[in-house]
Amino acid sequence: MKTLNWYVTRGFLLAFSMAIGILTFGMTGANLVKVLDYVSQGISFVTFCKFTLYILPIILTFTVPWAVMVAVMLVFGRMSADNEITAMRACGVSIMQIVSPIMIITILLTALCLYLQVEIGPPMLGRSREMMGEAAINQPLAMFEPGKPISYENTIIYIEDKEGENTILGVQLYTLADRTTVAQDISAVRGKVFVDKEQKTLTIRLYDCLVTDKKADKTKTIDRFYSSELEFRFYYGKQTNARRIQIKPKYMKLSDLMGMIRMTKQWNRDSTKLEVELNQRIAFALSPIAFLLLGLPLAIRTSRRETSVGLFLSVILAGAFFLSIILCESLDSRPHLYPQYLLWLPNIVFQVLGAILTVRISKR
């Protein structure tokens, strides 16, 4: 029996290792696209590596369950196609004995995902966002992307292109009187960006400017004039300190998140969004068990040698599971639908359906 268990475990671990390597590489790469642009603007490679390490725990909470599904579909699909499972059962070995080593490994992986989701992942994800924001400030042009707005205090800035270490081209700058009213519309041929790290200030100096000044009085007159040079200075230290004080729930540890939920309820405020965040983390963490229970009977029933069949099924099932949780999470603004409980439906459906199919197969 030890030889049989080791044979199944070895195949699972091999398939799992390859799957998690490929999936983690793919998901990490998708998150690094913008960071690579920052690197091309001068952000250090050390910062790039730190960012990768910071986002890795959260990525693993997605790729570990998915890799479990892929490994189960491949290993047990091949064993079923080669009639190995039939031969084992003919020798008196039950389905539960065959899969018991995989169940133990999956439970350990579930514990790992739970730890990553509630303790390690969220704070490190928050740190990665903070670190890249600081790195972008220290490398001025990294913040500016052609066609995308940059907001500072009551100012919005667009650029057409950037050049060299600190030059921006085709600048459009708007200063706002309030959230919906434009006070000044400034077009500049080019500009330069400077950062004072000690004073935590960002200075934007514009050249060859056409200024459209919209009066806020009752006359609503518009004045236009030309200026060879204009300068705007922003204190980004205020924004940095605000981010540090106001930690978003998705960046909190479990203890901090539960404390906020208790305080919110004591203040008689709606805590649905916080409860959704808490339940979403736990539901994601328990997904390896759901994937194992459903993937095992499907792998045995398909009985195909082709690797593509197992991969296709794993992608469809994992996609449906994650999409269902994300859709339920999007209902956090509708507390009357109880989205914090709807989040558990994918886990319940996968586990119940998987358990039923596994029992039916074991009775054959």
Residue 207: the pLDDT is 92
In the chain, beta strands by DSSP E: 150-152, 155-158, 161-163, 167-176, 182-196, 201-214, 222-235
- Answer yes or no: do 149 and 133 share one domain: no
- Answer yes or no: do 160 and 106 share one domain: no
pTM of the predicted structure, to 2 decimals: 0.72
Residues counted in the chain: 364
- Answer yes or no: do 24 and 159 share one domain: no
- Answer yes or no: do 117 and 172 share one domain: no
- Answer yes or no: do 133 and 149 share one domain: no
Decide: 202 and 138 in contact? Cβ < 8 Å: no
- Answer yes or no: do 166 and 272 share one domain: no
- Answer yes or no: do 226 and 159 share one domain: yes
- Answer yes or no: do 129 and 255 share one domain: yes
Burial class (CB in 10 A: 0-12, 13-18, 19+), 304: middle
- Give the H or E element holding residue 325: helix 307-329
The 10 Å CB-count burial string (b at 16+, else e) for 152-176 is beebebbbeebeeebbbeebebbbe
- Answer yes or no: do 50 and 95 share one domain: yes
Query: Which of 204, 226, 244 is the C-terminal boundary of a domain?
Result: 244
Alpha-carbon span 201 to 235, nearest angstrom: 4
- Answer yes or no: do 260 and 240 share one domain: no
Residue 247: the pLDDT is 73
Query: Which of 210, 244, 278 is the C-terminal boundary of a domain?
Result: 244
Alpha-carbon span 255 to 276, nearest angstrom: 15
Query: Which of 215, 244, 273 is the C-terminal boundary of a domain?
Result: 244
Number of domains in the chain: 2
- Answer yes or no: do 219 and 272 share one domain: no
User: How do strand 201-214 and strand 222-235 relate by DSSP bridges?
Assistant: antiparallel
User: How do strand 155-158 and strand 161-163 relate by DSSP bridges?
Assistant: unpaired
- Domain span holding position 68: 2-137+249-362
- Answer yes or no: do 237 and 269 share one domain: no
pLDDT digits (tens, 9 = 90+) for 272-291: 888 998 999 999 889 999 88
Instruction: Of 146, 186, 150, give the one whose Cα is nearest residue 169.
Output: 146
Q: Enumerate residues 6+ apart whose C-beta is below 8 A from 70.
A: 15, 16, 19, 23, 310, 311, 314
For the chain, which residues score pLDDT lower than 50? 241-245
